[in-house]
Structure 1
Amino acid sequence: MKHRLTIIVGSTRPGRVGPVFAEWLRAAADEHGKFEPVLADLVEFNLPILDEPHHPRLGKYEKAHTKAWSQAVGAADAFVFVMPEYNYFAPPSVVNAVDYLVREWAYKPAGFLSYGGISGGMRSVQSLKPLLTTLKVMPIPEAIVLPAFAQHLDDKGHFTPNDMAATSATTMLDELHRWSVAMKPMRQPAA
């Protein structure tokens, strides 16, 4: 059985391009063949600023949006965060979405597809890693970085990856699979 790779579209702002990159990655992961890739677009979950009355570690969710998000994250074996950089930091929508849950994240690897200007969103990725490790997520160093991302979009907004992006995707997916397989026993309920 293939491991489930949940590709999280992190930007929620109007006019975002994250879904274009996420869809390309979903197709690349499908072609890669070791994962069942699914998209999780934060716009569709519509998570307000954390609004649950109980601490997330308890898993006592009352809101429908939290229950749906919990199910999506809990079903994953690995993640890829597709996100831009906002003021040298991860988008607030991503930080908020991560903070909504605790147990659902544990013992799963995460990769990143970041995009932006000259830095390609790498500072965004680096800012998110400490939060993820606190929740027992293993962020891997292999990633897809798209600096000056607009140059890779045609006049209709379609993404055409260069060789570096395609090679980076394969390398990241190979490593995510290794980590996901290795961590699977840790995801089993404790005896």
Structure 2
Amino acid sequence: MASTPTGGSTSTSSSGDPLRVAVVLGSTREGRFGPVVAKWLLGHAEPRTDMDVDLVDLLATPVPQALPGFGAPVADADLALLREITPRLAAADAFVLVTPEYNHSYPASLKNAIDWHNQQWHAKPVGFVSYGGISGGLRAVEHLRTVLAEQHTVTIRNTVSFHDCGARFDQDGRAVDPAADGAAKSMLDQLAWWAHALRDARQARPYAV
């Protein structure tokens, strides 16, 4: 994985400040459904007084396409891209990944964003909102859990998933099943608990890798 000098692993917010939550929109495919799902999630996260939310759209804020070889310097063009995204991941106290399922897994764009960063993920919680066909993107989430364990994250048990996603939202982007709203609250509540606990721990002592 690449070493990026443009951001660290911990935020500078105090324990009484709102949690900084980066919502990472993982799909960059043309005609993607992800913005509908992300906007719906933001409708639940942004009104919370305990969270400041930052939408990190990997289409609008891309990462470089290819990792450099081990020990090789990062090219200037790649550094320019990383300066747009790495500080935002570094500042986050927690993450929510909004991901579709492609071929029983998650998008290459999301894997690239994970691989280009290391310390920015350490000792932080990650929640998931997935969408897709019959499986609702849950296979993508299970793959992400194993990858993010290598990045020293804590993944949230409760997830939000939408199977047959195109039929799960009305024309205004609202979820047609009220249970989805309860699932979002449950996931965000768990995310907040872990984010507070881990932020306090990082401020008390450096995370040991």
CA distance in 2, matches of 1:171, 1:88: 25
Q: Does 1:185 align with 2:203?
A: no
Match of 1:8 among 24, 28, 52: 24
Question: SS at the partner of 2:97?
Answer: strand
How far, CA to CA, are the matches of 1:127 and 1:157 in structure 2?
A: 31
Whether the 8 Å contact between 1:61 and 1:67 is mirrored in structure 2 is no
TM, length-normalised to structure 2: 0.82
Considering fraction of residues, name the structure with more strand.
1
What percent of counterpart residues are identical? 34
- Note closer, same or farther for the CA distance 1:25–1:76 as it changes in structure 2 (3 Å cut): same
| Counterpart-to-counterpart distance in 1, 2:202 and 2:87 | 15
**Cα distance per residue 1:33-70 (max 9 Å; x no partner):** 321111000001222323446669x9x78411112221
Residue 102 of structure 1 contacts residue 135 of structure 1 at CA under 8 Å; is this kept in 2?
yes
Aligned to 1:104: 120
From the two aligned structures, give the one with the greater helix fraction: 1
Number of aligned residue pairs = 188
The superposition leaves residues 108-144 of structure 1 with CA deviations (integer Å, 9 ceiling, x where unpaired) of 1000000011110000000011111111111111111
Counterparts in 2 of 1:125 and 1:47: CA distance versus 1, 3 Å = same
CA shift, 1:27, in A, is: 1.8
Letter in 1 for 2:133: G
Q: Could you say what secondary structure the match of 2:142 adopts?
A: helix
1:160 equivalenced with 2:160 (yes/no): no
Cα gap change, 1:115/1:90 in structure 2, threshold over 3 Å: closer, same or farther? same
Q: Compared with structure 1, are the counterparts of its residues 55 and 22 closer, same or farther at alpha carbon in structure 2 (3 Å cutoff)?
A: farther
> What's the counterpart of residue 73 of structure 1?
89
Matched, 1:135 2:154: no
Unaligned runs of 5+ in 2: 1-16
TM-score scaled by structure 1?
A: 0.90
Q: 1:172: which partner in 2?
A: 187
Q: 1:151 aligns with which of 148, 156, 167?
A: 167
Equivalent-residue separation in structure 2 for 1:68 and 1:182 (angstroms): 28
1:83-102 map, 5 Å: 83-102=99-118
CA distance in 2, matches of 1:147, 1:36: 28
Higher relative contact order (CA 8 A, sep 6+): 2
Structure 1 unaligned residues grouped into runs of 5+: none
